Amino acid sequence: MRKVLLIGKNGQLGWELQRTLATLGEVISFDFPEIDLSKPESLREMIRRISPQIIVNAAAYTNVDKAESESELAWKINAEAPGVMAEEAGRLGAAFIHYSTDYVFDGTKRSPYLETDEPNPLNEYGRSKLGGEQSVEAAGAASILFRTSWVYSLRQGGFVTKVLQWARQQETLRIVDDQVGCPTSARMLAEVTAQVIAQGGDDLPGYFEKKGGLYHLAGAGAASRYGWAQAIIDLDPKKEEQVVKQLLPAKTVDFPTPAERPLRSDLSIEKFEETFELSLPPWKDGLKLLLS
C-alpha cells in the first residue's frame, strides 16, 4: 500500500486532507509538536524513516501579523522546511505537494493574478512563502505547488468563525471593502488535492514530472472582505442568534495592522482548470456547504 505523509494534520487544510487522502493509501500524519518544521534536520530524518511515495505539506507559519516580529521563525518554517521536504521527496522519487499564498503579490494588479505575474510580497509572511516556492523549485523534485487564497473552515478561529461571533455580539459591524481575494474552502482544497493525486494513477512520479509546477487554486470568483462577511451573515444557519443590524463598509487604513496586506490579490484559476480538467466551484458554494 502506498504511504502518504501528511505534515500539518491539525490545521484548517490538514484536517480536511486527513479524510480526503485516505483513499490514496496509508496516511501517516504529523503536526507540531510531534514534528517541528523549524528544525529541518529532524524533518529530514523523519521523512527518510517513513519513506513515503507522496508527501503533502499543509503546515505553515500562518500568523501574518506575528510574522513581522518573528520573521526568522517564519522563514525557517515557510521557506527552509519545504525545501528540505522537496529535496527528500526527490531523493525518494516521491511526489510532493505544497501550498503557497496570494500574499506573494502586492495587490496592485487590476485583474486576477496569473502564475506568470511577478511576485512582490508586502509582508514577512508573503516573503517567507515566496522563499518556500523558490526552495521547492530549486530542489528540482517532482512537485506541485498550489497557490491559494483566503482559506477558511470552522477550525482555528478564522474569518468565518469571527464574523459569526461578531454578528452575535455587535449591532454594527464594519468590515473592509477594499481588500479583494478568493475565499477558498479548506474542504474543497483538500478534495481537489486528492483528485489531482488520484489522476496520477500508478505512475505518480511520471505524472508529477509531466504536470508538476505552480498553479493557482482557489474558490472561483472574487469577493471583498465586506462581501464575504455579508454572505456569512446571510448563510448563518442560526440567524435567530444574531444581534447584528447593519454591516458597514470600511477601509483597510481604518484598521492598522503590523503587516501590510495586498488590496487586490484574487487569483486566476484558468491554468489549473485547463491542466487538470477540473472545474472549481464558485467561492460561495463552499461557504453554503460549510454553514448548511
Ligand X SMILES: NC(=O)c1ccc[n+]([C@@H]2O[C@H](COP(=O)([O-])OP(=O)(O)OC[C@H]3O[C@@H](n4cnc5c(N)ncnc54)[C@H](OP(=O)(O)O)[C@@H]3O)[C@@H](O)[C@H]2O)c1
Residues binding ligand X (CB under 6 A): 8, 10-14, 31-32, 35-38, 58-62, 77, 99, 101-102, 129, 148-151, 156, 186
Query: What does residue 171 show for φ and ψ, rounded to 5 degrees?
Result: -80, -30
Residue 80 or 177: the one with the smaller Cβ distance to ligand X is 80
Nearest CB to ligand X, comparing residues 11 and 244: 11
Q: Closest separation between CB of residue 151 and ligand X, Å? A: 4
* Minimum CB–partner distance for residue 33 and ligand X (Å): 7
> 3-class SS at 115?
coil
Return the C-alpha cell found at 134: 523558490
Q: Please report how close the Cβ of residue 169 comes to ligand X at its closest, in angstroms.
A: 23
Mark whether 207 is an active-site residue: no
Contact between residue 35 and residue 42 where contact means Cβ atoms under 8 Å apart: yes
Residue nearest to ligand X (CB): 11
- CA quadruple 236, 225, 192, 63: dihedral sign: negative
Alpha helices in 31-102 (DSSP H): 40-50, 71-75, 81-92
Q: How far is the CB of 248 from ligand X (least distance, A)?
A: 24
Task: Give me the catalytic one of 99, 103, 125, 215.
Answer: 125
29-45 burial string, b = 16+ CB within 10 Å, else e? bbbeeebbbbebeebbe
**Residue placing its CB nearer to ligand X in the complex, 49 or 201:** 49
Strand, coil or helix: 113: strand
Choose between 36 and 273: whose C-beta lies nearer to ligand X: 36
| C-beta of residue 193 within 8 angstroms of C-beta of residue 22 | no
- Measured over the CA atoms of residue 66, residue 71, residue 72 and residue 73, the dihedral's sign is positive
Residue numbers annotated as active site: 125
